[in-house]
């Protein structure tokens, strides 16, 4: 009988502690409601930002593998000059240079202190990146340099990751340097 009462008390304690965890998750979302609103406003303004000639600064792209999301891209180079260069596939190993900031321009991460594969080069695969960067990389050619604005839905959503707060819109500058080991069939 004592063991039965003890088991009931332990089970009750576990249920109460588990339910308090769920309440904590809700309060985290509430804590970031102002940040979420600022990020949503930032992305909405960027979508309609125009150049002096009235054209949109950013192009809105929807990844084919994630149709419920989107990202904004601005090409910083003449794409006609890189159109004949190689373009990575989802599983290609690629060398890039990058910097990522939040909407307040706080640098979150960059590749410029990495020297393993060359000065500031980060070696990865598009599939190892967040949705927005993954999709952008597979639309780039070697030599392309882009600015990306990635809403939280194509990044980390309502989760934090290191210094990245939940609901963060991320701004990336990415340069595709190389696709090491890429082979072309010779006829």
* C-alpha to C-alpha distance for 162 and 159, rounded to whole angstroms: 10
* C-alpha to C-alpha distance for 49 and 74, rounded to whole angstroms: 11
Q: Could you state, in order of their start, the residue ranges of all structural domains in the chain?
A: 24-178
Identify the CATH assignment for 24-178 out of 3.40.50.150, 3.40.1520.20, 3.10.50.40, 2.130.10.10: 3.10.50.40
pLDDT at 184: 58
The H-or-E segment that residue 170 falls in is: strand 170-178
Residues 6+ apart with CB under 8 A from 176: 88, 94, 95, 96, 137, 140, 141, 142, 143, 144, 145
pLDDT at 118: 86
Paired sense of beta strands 94-101 and 107-110, if any: antiparallel
pLDDT in 10s for each residue of the chain, 187 residues: 544 554 444 444 444 444 434 433 433 445 899 999 999 999 999 999 999 999 999 999 999 999 999 999 999 999 999 999 999 999 999 999 999 999 999 999 999 989 888 899 999 999 999 999 999 999 999 999 999 999 999 999 999 999 999 999 999 999 999 999 775 555 5
pLDDT at 182: 74
Q: How many Cβ atoms sit within 10 Å of the Cβ of residue 114?
A: 15
pLDDT at 181: 77
Residues 6+ apart with CB under 8 A from 27: none
Instruction: Give the residue from 174, 173, 172, 169 showing the smallest Cα distance to 39.
Output: 169
């Amino acid at each position: 009988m004592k063991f039965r009462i003890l088991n009931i008390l332990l089970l009750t304690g576990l249920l109460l502690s588990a339910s308090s965890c769920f309440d904590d998750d809700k309060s985290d979302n509430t804590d970031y409601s102002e940040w979420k609103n600022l990020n949503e406003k930032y992305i909405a303004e960027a979508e309609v930002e125009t150049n002096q000639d009235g054209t949109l600064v950013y192009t809105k792209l929807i990844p084919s593998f994630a149709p419920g999301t989107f990202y904004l891209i601005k090409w910083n180079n003449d794409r006609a000059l890189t159109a004949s260069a190689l373009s990575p596939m989802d599983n290609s190993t690629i060398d890039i240079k990058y910097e990522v900031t939040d909407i307040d321009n706080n640098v979150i991460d960059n590749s410029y202190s990495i020297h393993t594969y060359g000065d500031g080069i980060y070696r990865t695969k598009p599939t190892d990146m967040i949705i927005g960067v993954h999709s952008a990389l597979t639309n780039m050619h070697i030599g392309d340099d882009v600015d990306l604005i990635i809403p939280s839905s194509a990044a980390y959503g309502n989760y934090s990751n290191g210094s990245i707060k939940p609901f963060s819109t991320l701004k990336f500058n990415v340069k595709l340097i190389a696709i090491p080991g890429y082979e072309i069939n010779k006829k």
